[in-house]
Amino acid sequence: MSDSNTLKVIELFAGVGGFRRGLEKANSSLFDVVWGNQWEPSRKAQDAFDCYARNFHSGIHSNEDIATVTNDTFQELAPDMVVGGFPCQDYSVARTLSGEQGIRGKKGVLFWEIKRVIESAHPKYVLLENVDRLLKSPSSQRGRDFAVMLATFRDLDYSVEWRVINAAEYGFAQRRRRVFIFAYKNGIPFEDTQRELEDSNIVFEEGFFAKSFPVNKEPYKNRVDTDVLPEDIVDISDSYSLNFHTAGIMRNGGIYTAHVDPVLEKPIPLKDILIDENQVEDKFYLSPEEEEKFRYLRGPKKIERTTADGHKYSFSEGGMSPMDELDKPGRTMLTSEGSINRSTHIVEVNGRKRFLTPLECERLNGFPDHWTAGMSNRMRYFCMGNALVVGLIEIMGKRIEEIEKESRPTDIQLELTLS
């Protein structure tokens, strides 16, 4: 077991280490990342892993397919906490071929690897990140995938809070919306204290997320739903649907979910993350041809298209600002950042239009300057498009530190225990 004053952490699907960076900024003495896994399938170059290994110097750095890591490895690591960002995939399940009570998920779905880690190691805490559309997927059966996840945690004896957070609404430089999922083992001191609270009290005032990312005390437009998950996870997969809102709690299969209204903080404007213009290389400035392409891409358009079977339809797209406004936070950065793409940021400084530099993209996510140096610019953009906003994890790390302090017995309690 870990030292009583530290939490052993393993980081799954680590990318360039956003979770670890945030936790270490929160309290590097508390969070001891003992194992971090990053593996990019079908790529010879492992740029993200190389970046991770270059920036962190303790713990085991694993560059292997997570599916090949044995259960014994996770048991021996004995983490107190598991963290990771994972892709939004198809989480449907079915009976095992033998027809017994066991279930199987689709092959290659990384959430099932998270489940395997939890089953093997039984951590106190699990902190995960995903795109916010997870709550609504698939479109044909809204909420099914998230419900399968929640039922999985229920069956592993965990309670779960979730919250969709737009980083710019809490003072950061990017309008990046992601869903964060905090699961905690039933029976630990934190769960004991939460058990005394009403669901609404947890979501709006006293829960893991509400304490760190305050919301107004009433739901947005009275959007609240409650339900109880079916006992059989296969029934959930086959037919269950629920309109999951931006925040919620699941305890023993009972669901309370509400659309919360954030208490806004002033964000960092784009102009504050730009480097000195004298340091910007010529290659980042737009040529006249590129300017023309972006005028078209970001302008309104209505185009007639034809499907493979000959059906004609009209594709329309609204216009957007030709330049990103410097007095507002950046938009959500995608992996295509830096390419000739409608979603790419374009700024105008001193009358010249240009891309954001890779270093500025690092700043948009709250990484130190040059964090991804050493790989191609294309991969630096790609890694930042996949990364999370480090400052959000730092805030969550500080919240976990508070929970740990509240959970530790006082000196008087220790004396009574020993006497």
Q: Give counts: helices (H), strands (E), the chain.
A: 14, 16
The H or E element that residue 349 is part of is strand 346-349
> Amino acid identity of 46?
Q
For residue 92, what are the CA distances in angstroms to 6, 53, 119, 281? 36, 34, 19, 48
Interacting residues of 343 by C-beta distance below 8 A, sequence separation 6+ = 331, 332, 334, 336, 337
What is the phi/psi pair of residue 272, to 5°?
-80, -10
CA dist., res. 343 & res. 384, Å (int): 14
In this structure, what DSSP letter does residue 167 have? G
Helix (H, G, I), strand (E, B) or coil at 100: coil
CA dist., res. 324 & res. 344, Å (int): 9
The DSSP bridge pattern shows strands 93-95 and 31-37 to be unpaired
Distance of CA 109 to the CA centre of its chain: 16
| Closest to 39 (Cα-Cα) out of 110, 104, 131 | 110
Is residue 51 annotated as part of the catalytic site, yes or no?
no
Given the residues 51, 88, 361, 383, select the one marked as catalytic.
88
Q: Catalytic amino acids?
A: 88
